[in-house]
Structure 1
């Protein structure tokens, strides 16, 4: 796991940054302001971004789109609000005669600031104006100089009263440590979003030939009109038209995916005509218990870090007479051959392994097919 540090000059990341990141199990690599190409393969292997200088806007925008955690200090905070007019290494004016910076009420429930101690009195507020975008959450302020710290979206923070020219004071180092732990905790989700964000625009066209296979698999759910169906890991929502056709106009269809870019692509391809789209973690679904009649999930379960937790959560939201259908448009042997490897006896989707995993998490495997052209498993809740 690595964090990219964008800084005003070439060389290693500051010692304090490297030490705090290492304590969280994170490596660091730097990106000088002259290099806006970003790491090779975009955000591959990048779990977080620390912006100490006003540089690399392309990489930053890619990180924001993929919800890669970002922590920006002055003057890099301007890039978060798309005002890249501060020169690298230039610290805006400060107000030494102003009251100390104080955390706002919103900081108490913020993923990064919650539980933080009040900022050190010696930290002086930045006193140049900054216009935050709609929806930004102010986390620290000062009388006469608001917007000293803020969050944009779920994963980008700007802290204006911490200078880019480290070392940081103890409060700043504590905040950096909290950010490092947040990056480590979110690493798996970050990698997933980064991978699929870069591929979202071309996903539909690339796999359009699989649509008939998806339609045939959805038919195996055998849901009644008026049922509520959920497509977990929906991507661009290729199963949603068939789900809508099965549950009819009186039913409900929800496409759930972790990557906002995939949901944006789904909306662009008209999937909102067939149901609603929801950005969520499939192991913590914002759905009521026993509220779903059918779950369709293609190519997701065996890629999750904790498949048992996912299956338990899916059992929680499924009605007693509901159904789970796991699908892939390729059989296990076909996929193994495509990747140049033999079938793995430890593969979660091997019949015996999957049956045991389902039985342990509240399901009963009713149908299992591992054919040359598809994989399909149909399971019912054990009540």
Structure 2
């Protein structure tokens, strides 16, 4: 299956779920807030929500950087961005339609990137992580996040945990290293999946 086909399938999958997406996960905000805290953002900082979906993290990122900071949410799916606008998220940051493998953003533009539920949906995770590194300044941070751990998520969906899952530490560590990142925190428990990496200088 080609990249373009995979990309289209991801877009179609999320397009169908966009309206009411957040009502399915109403209790996730504290987990998102904790993930945003790990990014170490300060007033005036520049934050990217990559694969932002309905942009539920944008208000939290805006809180972290204050009115003088920059907040951008990028997503592949126009329906998700429309739902984000309906929810008023465009007041917290710029919403941009874009492909994670070819971000319409300049090099080193951000201090920190949040990627919630993104990496395992990328047709080419290596290209995606390299692109996130390109738009992050040296020393900047990346948080790969999901508000439920991998085992709990697999159980909920009736799947087995797969050893070749890109989010598993043995897969993720070399992948991050190859793409310009260094893992600094890895937490795959019941409550969340969070991998924080620092952009190498």
Please indicate the TM-score interval, normalised by the length of the shorter structure: over 0.9
Whether the 8 Å CA contact 2:126–2:175 is kept in 1: the answer is yes
2:104 partner SS: coil
Q: Deviations over 1:327-379 (max 9, x none)?
A: 00110111121222332222111112111110011100001101111000110
Query: Does residue 307 of structure 1 match 2:125?
Result: yes
Which of the two has greater helix per residue?
A: 2
1:267 paired residue among 60, 85, 89: 85
Tell me whether 342-351 or 253-262 shows the greater mean CA deviation.
Answer: 342-351
Query: Does residue 380 of structure 1 match 2:159?
Result: no
Query: Does residue 202 of structure 1 match 2:20?
Result: yes
1:1-383 alignment, distance < 5 Å = 186-383=4-201
Aligned length: 201
2:27 partner SS: helix
Counterparts of 1:192 and 1:306, CA distance in 2: 12
1:201 partner SS: coil
Counterparts of 1:375 and 1:326, CA distance in 2: 8
Tell me, which stretches of 5 or more residues in structure 2 are unaligned? none
The Cα of 1:185 is off from its aligned counterpart by: 6.1
TM-score (norm 1): 0.51
Residue 71 of structure 1 corresponds to which residue in structure 2? none
Counterparts of 2:147 and 2:65, CA distance in 1: 22
Moved over 4 A (4+): none
Q: Deviations over 1:32-87 (max 9, x none)?
A: xxxxxxxxxxxxxxxxxxxxxxxxxxxxxxxxxxxxxxxxxxxxxxxxxxxxxxxx
The Cα of 1:382 is off from its aligned counterpart by: 1.5
Counterparts of 1:356 and 1:270, CA distance in 2: 39
Q: Deviations over 1:86-114 (max 9, x none)?
A: xxxxxxxxxxxxxxxxxxxxxxxxxxxxx
Closer/same/farther in 2, CA of residues 344 and 186 from structure 1, 3 Å limit = closer
Q: What's the RMSD between the two structures over aligned residues? A: 1.3
The Cα of 1:189 is off from its aligned counterpart by: 2.0
Larger Rg: 1
Tell me whether 353-362 or 187-196 shows the greater mean CA deviation.
Answer: 187-196
The Cα of 1:261 is off from its aligned counterpart by: 0.6
Counterparts of 1:185 and 1:324, CA distance in 2: 24
TM-score (norm 2): 0.96
Q: RCO (CA 8 Å, sep 6+): is it higher in 1 or 2? A: 2
